[in-house]
Amino acid sequence: MSKLHIKDLEVNFHTREGIVRAVDGINLSINPGEIVGLVGESGSGKSVTCNSILQLLPAPPARIESGTIEWSGKDLLLQGGSEMQGIRGKEISMIFQDPMSCLNPYIPILDQVAEPLIIHRLCHPLKAMEDAREMLEKVGVLRIAECPRAYPHEFSGGMRQRAMIAMALITKPSLLLADEPTTALDVTVQAKVLSILKDLCGSLGTSVLFVSHDLGLVAELADRVVVMYRGKVVEQNDTRTLFTHPAHPYVKALIACRPTLDISQDRLPTVEDFIDSKEEAPLNPTTISAPNPLSGQEALLEARDLIVEFKTDEGTVRAVDQVSLSIRRGTTHGLVGESGSGKTTLGRSLLNLIERNSGEIWLHGKRLPASGQNNDLGFRKSMQIIFQDPYASLNPRLTIEETLLEPMAVHRLGGSKTERVDRVVALLKEVGLGAEHLARYPHEFSGGQRQRICVARALTTEPDFIVCDECVSAMDVSVQAQVLNLLKSLQANRGLTYLFISHDLGVVKFMSDEISVMQAGRIVENGSANHIYNEPQTAYTRQLIDSIPAANRTSGFKG
């Protein structure tokens, strides 16, 4: 068993636009048997650090400028190709984020799990297959007994990730590098996969470097936590100390701006509150504490007995199964569920973007026509949607000005062109951008800024009802806090009604007044936000809450 010691590591990326300093002189150690969490947001350099250990960085753009990585008496950065091949998969193994793209689709899973044993000639090929089968059953992939020749695409995401773990640990390595292994998984699946990881590594004595953007998740697992920001290590400490007595302002911010389940503020603290960050234009929406004058008891949107079915290769799937919903004006209704629950389908069918098989929808008391009539401008004006992926949500060929003017032109709002431009500028200011952004194209903005433009676009028709479909799920927690604050302040100022869809329970609870929990197309529980979390009625809701890492459930740390 060896200790890993990274010393003064510097990695630069040589791109067409210039040199990017991804890792700027960091020091990090992992002791035998230890689990170290490496936490940071996008651009922090955590993944680059992890990949440099095994020399897996894409060599032309990336270059390791200086530093050493000590392992077993050698400097890993100086090892040649064949030496590294001997270490990879045998002494140090790695698992990655997306199990679908990281497994070879043309080779059966069993063969892939057995492969490390065969590559490193640790046993006879037939025995390797046997060991692989045992290992897979150990991690819970029980189907392998009946279908030994199954391919990756025949398994679910959680099963594939378990297979990756089996594949990485089958050679009993001393160190496991885990690069965001649960980020792509549902929260209940994530909890199970993490416990398997922890148990297996514990029994084998394998040390782990666990890279993640989720501080709370890492706290559940790690003995020590290292936090990175813009290529540097800003703080490292044992988990309990880091959480209870964070020293660096960025770490304090990261801990504070997560929406935990017991949060009671109206506004999330943001990174700007803690340090002076010059990245994005500072956004200071006023805190909302006054009750919304426009919220009332009458329902703005009502849906009854909605059914949406899809035809797939396996038959007809009911994505939305007899769902009824009522959302009061000026409030936020949260919709929580895992993948496949039907929440996205429900959101889109409420807007008539997806055809429903049966059921009725009323907006302002007026019944929505059956879908297929795209041009019912009256309804379209009042209901809008903000999507998850800010990169794909904007037409790359139009300037911001063109994108924002177009809806006004189509709905004939705002009189002359100058008036419309004024309105657009006002909207941009409202979302925290400015007039100087009008002539730019989407690719010139960051993800958070693009999402704000999408919010502005949704507001151009002065809607009453907006569906937020996982609109902060693709963001770093600090950017997420800003956008959530923005959405809340807009609701207070304009009297908007939201349907807020997400898989993240903390975010949903922060945003919502009422919450519905969805599972397999049905709503299994309904209630006010506090009620759902303090007194969950169904087993599924309880399971959802229990799967959240403890540090994300409550803001106080219980180690």
Partner 1 sequence: MKPEKSSSLGKDAWLRLRANRMAMVSLFILVAVGLLSLLGPMLSSHAYDEQNLDRIFENPNSTYLFGTDNLGRDLFARTTYGGRISLSVGLLATFVSLIIGVTYGMISGYAGGRVDAWMMRMVDVLYALPFIIFVILLMVMFGRNFLLLFLAIGAVEWLTMARITRAQTLNLKKAEFVEAARALGFSHTRILFRHLLPNLIGPIIIYATLTVPAVMLLEAVLSFLGLGVQAPMSSWGSLIKEGAEKMDAAPWLLLFPGSFFCLTLFSLNFLGDGLRDALDPKSSKD
Partner 2 sequence: MSRLIFLRLLQAIPTLWVIATLTFFMTRFAPGGPFDSEKVIPEEIKIKLEAHFGLDRPLFEQYILYIQNLLRGDLGPSFKYPEWEVSELIATAFPVSLTLGVLSFIIALLIGIPGGMIAALRRNTWMDYLPMGLSMAGICLPTFVLGPLLIFVFSTQLALFPPLGWYGASDWVLPSLTLGLFYAAYIARLTRAGMLETLQQDYIRTARAKGASSWRILTKHAARGGLLPVVTFLGPAFAGLISGSFVIESIFFIPGLGKFFVTAAFNRDYTMVLGTVLFYATLIICLNLVVDLIQALLDPKARQAK
| Pairwise CA distance, residues 507 & 449, whole Å | 19
Q: Return contacts of 231-237, CB within 8 angstroms, 24+ apart.
A: 231/21, 231/22, 231/23, 231/24, 231/26, 231/44, 231/45, 232/24, 232/25, 232/26, 232/45, 233/26, 233/27, 233/28, 236/28
Q: Distance between CA atoms of 542 and 519, rounded to whole angstroms?
A: 13
Q: Which is nearer to partner 1, 293 or 372 (CB)?
A: 372
> Cβ distance 316 to 309 under 8 Å?
yes
3-class DSSP state of 474: coil
Cβ atoms of 107 and 167 within 8 Å: the answer is no
**What does the DSSP 8-state code read for residue 268?**
-
Within 10 A of 183 (CB to CB), how many other CB atoms are there?
14
Q: Does 278 engage in binding with partner 1 (CB under 8 A)?
A: no
Alpha carbons 22 and 46: distance in angstroms, whole number: 9
Q: Report yes or no: 335 and 307 within 8 Å, Cβ to Cβ.
A: no
- Tokens matching residue 221: 């697992």
Question: One symbol per residue from 239 to 258: x for binding partner 1 (CB under 8 A), - otherwise; what is it?
Answer: --------------------
Residue 119 touching partner 2 (CB under 8 A): yes
407 binds, among partner 2, partner 1, none (CB under 5 to 8 A by kind): partner 1
Q: Does residue number 396 form part of the binding site for partner 1 (CB under 8 A)? A: yes
Contact 213, 41 (CB under 8 A): yes
For 327, 444, 475, 492, the CA distances from 288, given in Å and listed in that order, are 21, 32, 23, 7
Told to check if 213 binds partner 1 by CB under 8 A, we report: no
311 binding partner (options partner 1, partner 2, none; Cβ < 5 to 8 Å by kind):
none
Q: Is residue 64 involved in binding partner 2 (CB under 8 A)?
A: no
Q: Measured from the CB of residue 343, what is the shortest distance to partner 1 in angstroms?
A: 16
Q: Which of residues 418-477 bind partner 1 (CB under 8 A)?
A: 439-441, 443-447, 454, 457, 460-461
Q: Which stretch binds partner 2 (CB under 8 A): 116-124, 129-137, 416-424, 449-457?
A: 116-124
By beta-carbon proximity to partner 1, the closer residue of 34 and 279 is: 279
Give the one residue of 17, 78, 106, 289 binding partner 2; rule: CB under 8 A: 106
CB of 316 to partner 2, least distance (A): 16
Rounded distance, CA 452 to CA 459, Å? Answer: 11
Query: What are the start-end ranges of the H helices in 3-124?
Result: 46-53, 81-87, 99-102, 109-119
- Does 15 engage in binding with partner 2 (CB under 8 A)? no
Interface stretch with partner 2, choices 77-85, 342-350, 518-526, 532-540 (CB under 8 A): 77-85
3 binding partner (options partner 1, partner 2, none; Cβ < 5 to 8 Å by kind): none
Asked if 167 interacts with partner 2 (CB under 8 A), we say yes
Return all residues near 287 (Cβ < 8 A) that are at least 6 apart.
Answer: 266, 267
Q: Which of 37, 40, 45, 89 contacts partner 2 by CB under 8 A?
A: 89
| 405 scored as a contact of partner 2 (CB under 8 A) | no
Quote the CA–CA distance of 150 and 421 in Å, as a whole number.
58
Subset of 16-75 contacting partner 1 (CB under 8 A): 16-18
Query: Would you count residue 115 as binding partner 2 (CB under 8 A)?
Result: yes
Q: Which is nearer to partner 1, 262 or 462 (CB)?
A: 462
Nearer to partner 1 by Cβ, of 192 and 452: the residue is 452
Least distance from partner 1 to the Cβ atom of residue 383, Å: 8
Shortest separation between residue 374's beta carbon and partner 1, angstroms: 6
Partner whose footprint covers residue 167, from partner 2, partner 1, none (CB < 5 to 8 Å by kind):
partner 2
Instruction: Indicate whether 104 belongs to the interface with partner 2 (CB under 8 A).
Output: yes
Q: Is there binding between residue 393 and partner 1 (CB under 8 A)?
A: yes
Residue range at the interface with partner 2 (CB under 8 A); choices 105-113, 225-233, 396-404, 550-558? 105-113
In whole angstroms, how close is the CB of 454 to partner 1 at the nearest point?
7
88/450 with CB nearer partner 1: 450
CB atoms within 10 A of CB 440: 15
Among 150, 288, 410, 413, binds partner 1 (CB under 8 A): 410
Position of tokens 């038959």?
A: 315
Q: Are strands 522-528 and 514-519 parallel, antiparallel or unpaired?
A: antiparallel
CB-based contact 188:195 (threshold 8 Å): no
Could you tell me the two tokens for 258?
């997560």
**C-beta closer to partner 2: residue 66 or 104:** 104
Shortest separation between residue 395's beta carbon and partner 2, angstroms: 27
Candidate ranges 87-95, 195-203, 213-221, 503-511; the one touching partner 2 (CB under 8 A): 87-95
Question: What is the distance between the alpha carbons of residues 168 and 310, in angstroms, rounded to a whole number?
Answer: 38
Least spacing, CB of residue 471 vs partner 1, in Å: 11
Q: How many residues does the chain have?
A: 559
Q: Which of 370, 377, 417, 556 binds partner 1 (CB under 8 A)?
A: 377
**Under rule CB under 8 A, which residues in 319-348 are in contact with partner 1?**
348
CA torsion angle 52 57 61 64 (round to 10): 20
Question: Does 380 contact partner 1 by CB under 8 A?
Answer: yes
Taking the C-alpha atoms of residue 404 and residue 215, their distance in angstroms, rounded to an integer, is 37
Residues facing 14 on adjacent strands: 19
At CA 313, angle to CA 308 and CA 314, rounded to 5?
Answer: 80
Q: Which of 284, 286, 358, 395 binds partner 1 (CB under 8 A)?
A: 395
Helix axes 417-430, 447-459, angle to 10 degrees: 130
Residues in the site for partner 2, rule: CB under 8 A? Answer: 54, 56, 81-82, 84-90, 93-94, 96, 98, 101-107, 115-116, 119-120, 151, 153, 164, 167, 313
Residue ranges that bind partner 1, judged by CB under 8 A:
16-18, 348, 351, 353, 374-377, 380-381, 383-385, 387-389, 391-397, 399, 406-407, 410-411, 439-441, 443-447, 454, 457, 460-461
